[in-house]
Amino acid sequence: MSVVGGTLARYFGLRFLNTVLMVFFGILLLVALLDYIELMRRASDIPNVSALLVAKTSLFRVPQVAERIMPFCILIGAMSCYLNLSRRLELVVARAAGMSAWQFVAPALIVAFLFGVVATTIYNPVAAVLQERSKRFEAELFGQNTGSAQGGGPFWLSQRTDSGQAIINAKSSRDQGVSLFGVTVFTFDPSGHFRQRIEARSAVLEPGVWHLFNARVYELQTLPVDLADFRFKTSLTPEQVRESFATPETVPFWELPLYIQIADHAGLVAAGYRLQFQKLLARPFFLAAMVFLAAAVSLRFFRFGGIQKMVLSGVAAGFLLYILQKVTEDLSKADLMHPVAAAWLPVLVGGLTGFVALLYQEDG
């Protein structure tokens, strides 16, 4: 019996993995197609546009989009797998062989957990790197002053040197804040009095200076001056700038502890990076919770009927869990909830809900 149970467990695990991969790559292909069509529409007014560059831009930013819908891929894949097994009466055969529901759910839990580990440790860093490259391609495609770099702006940054204070505003950024676009700089003397305002098309952080391009300098009681290149001193390092401008989703998993440490040492708020780090740590358990939810609504035999209601209830449960996750994230970013609680609460709610529902069906 142990040999039969092991063989069936491997069979169910492989069926689950194949279904999840089919769903994931199917959604990935659909997102890539839609994104490519949207980019081609935006680039239709650009003369001699390169279709290859558009395709590379779309392809490189799709993995991070697909990463956000990964839990739904697990939910839909698990439901499809178990419903197909039930329709083909394979679950009936498994029960007749002496396997309980917990025994053929366990392989899916293990596969989902390992899938989450790979997604956190390998897929996330690769997606972050590809996302950064897609911004460079997009800037090359649409021009660096179109705001097509990293969104989420405007961005604000403050610096203080021996010559006074400067407040930097940028509409968008690239390379995690090292390159800025749509830049406005307000400078003040050491006593805090306004000195000048500088507007520039773009700026690049170089050792000890900000290098501004196509700048216009406004000073009190003088006419504006246009300069092709303008430099002013800075005490900021690339690490400090990246901490201020980089959004948590664009930072690879392995670099998040460094960003948190830099923010703590600089006295800045690191709640977003802590939340992202905890979310990635909780991802394997969150995917396993999705398997519990899927199993609770899809292990019913076809001959009993009511399959449509069970499927709709599973989709609704996944959607409600997604809303709970977004609410806890917003509360954490507003400093109303600890990042650990915000990241792990949806995991506990989803896992316990599916576990209790499955326990009630099987042993209640």
Identify the band that residue 115 occupies on the pLDDT scale cut at 50, 70 and 90. Answer: very high
What is the tens place of the pLDDT at every residue in 152-191?
A: 456 777 777 777 888 888 887 776 667 888 888 898 888 8
DSSP H or E stretch at residue 179: strand 179-188
Higher-pLDDT residue of 231, 235: 231
Tens-place pLDDT, residues 8-27: 778 888 988 999 999 999 88
248/1: higher pLDDT: 248
| Side-chain half-sphere exposure of 307, counting CA atoms within 13 A | 15
- pLDDT top residue among 354 and 264: 354
Report which secondary-structure segment, H or E, holds 197.
Answer: strand 194-206
pLDDT of res. 300 = 64
Q: Are 132 and 176 in contact (CB under 8 A)?
A: yes
Asked if the model's pLDDT at residue 146 lies above 50, the reply is: no
pTM, 2 dp: 0.74
By CB atoms closer than 10 A (0-12, 13-18, 19+), residue 321 is buried
- 214-228 residues labelled b (16+ CB within 10 A) or e (exposed): ebebeeeeeeeeeee
Choose from 42-56, 274-288, 329-343 the range with maximum mean pLDDT: 274-288
Q: How far apart are CA 287 and CA 78, in angstroms?
A: 10
Residue 150 scores a pLDDT above 50 = no
DSSP labels for 77-93?
HHHHHHHHHHHTTHHHH
Q: How far is CA 247 from CA 54, 151, 243, in A?
A: 24, 9, 8
Question: CA distances (Å), 280 to each of 226, 298, 340, 344, 346, in order?
Answer: 47, 27, 11, 10, 13
Token couple for 150: 């990293």
Query: What sign does the CA torsion over 223, 225, 231, 234 have?
Result: positive
Count of residues in the chain: 364
Give kind and range of the element (H or E) at residue 206. strand 194-206
Given this model, what pLDDT does residue 151 score? 47
| pLDDT at residue 6 greater than cutoff 60 | yes
pLDDT of 106 reads 87
- Rounded CA-CA distance 168/182 in Å is 10
Query: What count of other Cβ atoms lies within 10 Å of the Cβ of residue 175?
Result: 20
Q: Which of 67, 80, 61, 63 is nearest to 17 (CA)?
A: 80
| Residue closest to 289 by CA, chosen among 76, 84, 113, 124 | 113
Phi, psi of 160 (to 5 degrees): -135, 130
| Span 55-95, pLDDT tens digits | 888 888 888 888 888 898 899 988 888 888 877 777 777 77
Higher pLDDT, 18 or 304: 18
pLDDT at 283: 93
Mean pLDDT of the chain, nearest integer? 81
CA separation for the pair 135, 28 (Å, rounded): 19
- pLDDT computed for residue 268 by the predictor: 57
Closest by CA position to 290, among listed 243, 346, 234:
346
